[in-house]
Amino acid sequence: MRWAAVTLLLSCATTPEGGGSDAVRVETVTLDLLPEGTGTVGFLLDLQSPPGESCTVTRVEWQMMLAGRDFAAGVAAANVLVPGGQHARVKVEEPVAFGGMAYDGRARTVPVALRGVAVTQWASGEQKRPFEVRTRVAVRGAPVYDR
């Protein structure tokens, strides 16, 4: 039986050093994890460009910790234009495998830490714009590290 992903909306996230108009915010984090040891990790980034400067998000490099331990990492290709002075969203959904771990099928929340960089292309060259968030995500089952 396939479980539906449960989304937790986040009210705050971090911005790159200096903050300001080139901020990257994590808006949602989702986990859809199956007893077979596979699933999907998803998150939504909101990026903003300063007035008069457009950029294109070309890829997202990310790492996720689950219950304080390394869980998944990836590089997702993107091609999202962020017009000058505006916001754009980049949705990342990546498959994960955790087959060698015990699985607890109970519904609960799990602590998640997500960090990475949105790689953007500007007229002046490439720039890595960091993001990071720690939250709890509701799941209908997840791997267990302590068994």
pLDDT tens digit at each of 147 positions of the chain: 333 333 333 333 333 333 344 579 999 999 999 999 999 999 999 999 999 999 999 999 999 999 999 999 999 999 999 999 999 999 999 999 988 888 999 999 999 999 999 999 999 999 999 999 999 999 999 998 765
In a domain, 118, yes or no: yes
Domain CATH code at residue 71: 2.60.40.10
Residue 21's pLDDT is what?
42
- The token pair that represents 138 in the structure block: 């509701």
Residue 12's pLDDT is what?
33
Residue 137: exposed, middle, or buried by beta-carbon count in 10 A (0-12, 13-18, 19+)?
Answer: buried
In a domain, 1, yes or no: no
In a domain, 147, yes or no: no
Number of domains in the chain: 1
Residue 100's pLDDT is what?
80
